[in-house]
Amino acid sequence: MKDVLSQVIDVKGVKVLAVKVDDVDMNGLRNLGDQLKEKLGEGVVVLASATDGKVNLMASATEEAMKKGAHAGNLIKAIAGFVGGGGGGRPNMAQAGGKNPAGIPDSLAKVAEVVAEQIK
Cβ atoms < 10 Å from Cβ of 62: 21
Q: What's the pLDDT score for residue 20? A: 95
pLDDT cut 90: percent of the chain above it: 95
Considering the four listed CATH numbers 3.30.750.24, 3.10.310.40, 1.10.3720.10, 3.40.50.720, the one that applies to the domain covering 2-118 is: 3.10.310.40
Beta-bridge mates of residue 50: 55
What local confidence, expressed as pLDDT, does residue 26 receive? 94
Is the pLDDT reported for residue 34 higher than 90? Answer: yes
Domain boundaries, the chain: 2-118
Q: What is the pLDDT of residue 5?
A: 85
What is the residue-averaged pLDDT of the chain?
95
pLDDT one-digit tens code per residue, 39-95: 999 999 999 999 999 999 999 999 999 999 999 999 999 999 999 999 999 999 999
Whether residue 2 is predicted with pLDDT greater than 90 in this model: the reply is no
% of the chain exceeding 70 in pLDDT: 98
According to the model, what pLDDT value does residue 45 have?
A: 98
Per DSSP bridges, beta strands 14-20 and 9-11 are antiparallel
- β-partners of residue 19 are 47
The phi, psi pair for 25, rounded to 5°, reads -80, 175
**Angstrom distance (rounded) from CA 1 to CA 63:** 22
pLDDT number for residue 3: 81
